[in-house]
Amino acid sequence: MRDRVVIVSGGTGALGQSMVLAFLGTGAKVCVPYVVPAEQAALQARLAPADAALVEVKHCDLTDETAVTTYVGDIVARHRRVDVLVNAVGGFAGGDLAATPLAEWNRMMTLNLTTAVVGCRAVLPEMTRARWGRIVNIASRAVIPPQGGFIAYTVSKAAVITLTQALAQEVRAHGVTVNAVLPSTMDTPANRKAMPDADRSGWVSTESVARVVAFLGSEAADAVTGAAVTV
């Protein structure tokens, strides 16, 4: 992956930081849009001095298509390429259908689905021009089969899988692969805080998920597209 250019949206979060480090381990340059300053600082603190030069962190609202298009355009102008996009921005909300306000429903769709759509639309012109690209969308193991009790989240993440499968068919002739990774409950500070009494023995590490994402973003995965990979 040396000299490849990777965009990791959500790259300052718990999973995102592990994915940034995984791609750095392949020799790639990694671009990370962010909105939360504290998360940016946390990512920077985890970077080794030798890696800092290979990571570009810049503020960008990933729900704003104009901002994302400009962000990607700036990357292409600097590096003459964008090879991999990981769509990992997301959010969680509980509640059944009757208890979920429409505003919360729309928020889940925006965070989990629209950000992926916007990201794909921004990078595909360059990837199809180059006839090489990798898109990896982060969905959730909890939506196969679909679960109740957090229905807005479930539907939005299930839509990410459908987006992945349909888009894979649209772009496969252009040398671009599109896959989804579906983590089960991950061992993150947020999940430990939300579920302090849970049995964490079956939780998956963010590093394990990141290794799968890095594989799907590599040349070794050129024959894999439209997949929904559970971790």
Catalytic residue numbers? 153
Residue 140 per-residue DSSP state: -
Residue spans of beta strands (DSSP E) within 111-175? 133-138
**Cα torsion at 59, 164, 190, 63 (round to 10°)?**
30
Whether the CB-CB separation of 190 and 14 falls below 8 Å is answered with: yes
Distance CA 231, CA 209 (A): 6
Distance CA 37, CA 40 (A): 5
User: Which amino acid does the sequence have at 26?
Assistant: T
Tell the residue number behind the tokens 């964008």, with chain if given: 82
User: Which amino acid does the sequence have at 161?
Assistant: I
Length, in residues, of the chain: 231
Distance CA 108, CA 157 (A): 9
Q: Are strands 84-87 and 133-138 parallel, antiparallel or unpaired?
A: parallel
Question: Which of 149, 153, 143 is closest to 181 using CA atoms?
Answer: 143
- Nearest 5°: CA angle at 11, between 192 and 159? 80
